[in-house]
Amino acid sequence: MTKLSRRSLLRTGAAAGVLAASGLPLRAQAKRGGRLRVGLNGANSSDSWDARTHADVFMISAGHGTVFDCLTEVAADGALKGELATDWEASPDAKVWTFNLRQGVTFHNGKSFGADDVIESLQLHVAEGSKSAAGPIVSRITEMKKLGEHQVQFVLGSGNADFPYLLADYHLVIYPAGQIEESLQQGIGTGLYRVASFEPGVRFLGTRVDSHYKDGEAGWFDEVEFIAINDNTARTNALLTGQVDSINRIDRKTEGLLKANPMLRIQEVSGNEHYTFPMLTDVAPFDDVNVRRALKYAVNRQEMVDKILLGHGRIANDSPVGPANQFFAGDLEQLSYDPDKAKFYLKEAGYDSIDLDLSASSAAFDGAVDAAQLYQASARPAGININVVQEPADGYWSNVWIKKPWCASYWGGRATEDWMLSSAYEEGVPWNDSQWDSKDSARFQTLLVEARAELDTVKRREMYTEMQMILRDDGGVIIPMFANFVQALNNKVAAPETVGNYFQMDNCRMTERWWMA
């Protein structure tokens, strides 16, 4: 139903295209066997199987994508499906959630899976002193009840319609109860592959378990090997020389060369990662909505996509809700570059011309300083004189972001609207980088709280659309573009036509969803 509008899959491989054209369902072509070798960045010698510490693609793929399972899973098309839970039910106020767990599942050490495992694993995130990034999710649960061996009930402090989505978060993997210490050390999960060898920051090798509840749907490889390659050039080399079958995060500048190689193909999906220019709406002159509006019309978004992302992205509408979100309002009228309108709003604010400082650094995103200079050039005709202040990358997030009135920044994006908006646009939260609160739009803050507990999808869509409109018209963050996830594969590996778009590498689930061609 809403699937198609949510997808904006740009390119899959030529082989996949041919298969799709022949009308055969792709899944039918998937077959067991082989070893997938992937070169990934983001590995560190202090990596471990403790999912509370997972933060980058290497361990996210090895953890929740390969060795462990969560209760729920975001499918490649963005729909939510059960992983260790089979189905769930909410009370009308979205406060009490009952989950039925999958039966007959065993951990890699033979222990059978049940309600205790779920409760103990989730409690890790709110343990004394734990700084787990998923702590805020779990701390919303006021009570966890074991209703049966394979049924758990969660009582939330306040209603949250997205709760099952949040349980798909890669930190919330399920460990065997009573053996969590061993599991954190050795990586004992319920996933499709067991740990054969793991050298932190160097390499991970997983072997397929003999029988698994996902048999026939996922997990086609006999073995999967991750090689830590943090250096961009080395990663590209490894793919070119056939040392690995796939790499993440290819360099936009060398993409053309990779594309010219008939053995390789580029996989590109447009996701929620966005590059931003947040203004502090409680600091003059950004407290004046007309100044913010002038700046919204003074930026040439398409030019930034073309020159900063080299085409690997799409223009955005000053809202962080992106193409990988359920209620993304892609049909809203798009803000466009219009110096006359910018001048008009500047006049409304009482200025003929205005001088503004814009802080930028490569720490914010690749090419942030160049983007700021493009902004400077496009704003000049409107009488807005932007002075680009180049800040050091070290300490940028501590000394510049949310400190200087206007700067460059980025967000990785979140799987649900509420998660994104309540991270950076809810009154009083620490990462609110535009100091956006009810003095700016009381309506927005009310909607944010109401939509969270609303179970009716149609009503939620209306609410989130209205919030996206408010942010577009009055919001304190200029969001010119969404950046694509770009990865590359060689012809030995096949991937489904639909590739996950809320994180790199098919939502870090390439070991489950891809197969040897």
By the criterion CB under 8 A, which residues form the site for another protein?
39, 44-46, 48, 50, 52-53, 124, 127-132, 197, 199, 201-203, 227-231, 233-234, 237-238, 240-244, 392, 394-395, 397-398, 401, 409-410, 430-431
Rounded to a whole number of angstroms, the minimum distance from the CB of residue 414 to another protein is: 13
For the bound state, the minimum distance from the C-beta of residue 37 to another protein, rounded and expressed in Å, comes to 10
CB closer to another protein, 30 vs 38: 38
Compute φ and ψ for 111, nearest 5 degrees. Answer: -65, 140
| C-alpha span between 388 and 119 (Å, rounded) | 51
d(CA 452, CA 460) in angstroms, rounded, equals: 8
Is the bond leading into 25 cis (omega within 30 degrees of zero)?
no
Q: How far is the CB of 395 from another protein (least distance, A)?
A: 4
Question: Dihedrals φ, ψ of 442, to 5°?
Answer: -65, -35
If the CB atoms of residues 151 and 237 are measured against another protein, the closer one turns out to be: 237
Question: Which residue in 517, 8, 481 sits closest to 265, CA to CA?
Answer: 517
Least distance from another protein to the Cβ atom of residue 430, Å: 5
Which one, 131 or 331, has the nearer CB to another protein? Answer: 131
Identity of the residue, 344 or 410, whose beta carbon is nearer to another protein in the bound complex:
410
Only one residue has tokens 């073995």, namely: 223
Other residues' Cβ atoms within 10 Å of the Cβ of residue 116: 14
Q: Which residue number, 91 or 186, has a Cβ lying nearer to another protein? A: 186
What does 129-140 look like in DSSP terms, one character per residue?
T---TTHHHHTT
3: buried, middle or exposed (CB in 10 Å: 19+, 13-18, 0-12)? exposed
**In this complex, which beta carbon is closest to another protein, that of residue 29 or of residue 423?**
423
Q: Which of 234, 6, 360 is nearest to 249 (CA)?
A: 234
- Residues 451, 418: Cα–Cα separation, whole Å: 8
Is the CB of 213 or the CB of 436 nearer to another protein? 436
d(CA 479, CA 342): 16
* 131 vs 262 by CB, closer to another protein: 131
Closest approach of another protein to the CB of residue 69, in Å: 20
Which H or E run contains 129? none
Q: How far is the CB of 400 from another protein (least distance, A)?
A: 11
Evaluate whether 113 touches 106 at the Cβ level (below 8 Å). yes
DSSP 8-state symbol, 94: S
Least distance to another protein from the beta carbon of 292, Å?
A: 22
CA distances from residue 388 to 49, 194, 376, 377 in whole angstroms, order as listed: 43, 51, 7, 11
Minimum Å gap between C-beta 261 and another protein is: 11
